[in-house]
Amino acid sequence: MASLSASVDFTVEFYEVDSMKIVWHGNYINYMERARCALLNKINYNYMVMEQGGYAWPVVDIKVRYIRPLRFLQKARIEATLLEYENRLKISYKVTDAETGTLLTKAESTHMAVNTVTGESYFESPREFIEKVRNYANS
């Protein structure tokens, strides 16, 4: 399968930084969410589609490796790449400086499908999601 990825450009805002004008570490999760949404939109499987299909995908594991800090007003890019999709949703992320391409942060998130009515966890991804990934890969 060809690599499925999406990226989002952003500028670090004042409300995202600490007193040293460096992005507070917890805000990286928000950046990851933006990129994950762009990735899922690319295959037409956004949160509304998930909900209509009866699934939620909570985070079950997250890893972040801070390499260089993001600073106030810095222009950056976050890229999300789908790593696994058949049994769980696993996505890698790279945050880079938008102007120089310097790698700033690497991360991964893992998500498990959960039935929104029963709360039951699934150890394989819903068929609709798998089909959307495969259809995108074959287009």
pLDDT at 3: 85
Band (pLDDT 50/70/90 cuts) for residue 139 is confident
Does pLDDT of 1 surpass 70? Answer: no
Q: Work out how many domains the chain is built from and give that number.
A: 1
Q: Note down the domain range covering 30.
A: 5-138
Radius of gyration of the chain, Cα coordinates, nearest whole angstrom: 16
What mean pLDDT do residues 9-14 have?
98
pLDDT at 31 over 70: yes
pLDDT tens digits, residue range 91-124? 999 999 999 999 999 999 999 999 999 999 999 9
CATH code, domain with 99: 3.10.129.10
Scored b (16 or more CB within 10 A) or e, 75-89 reads: ebbbbbbbeebeebb
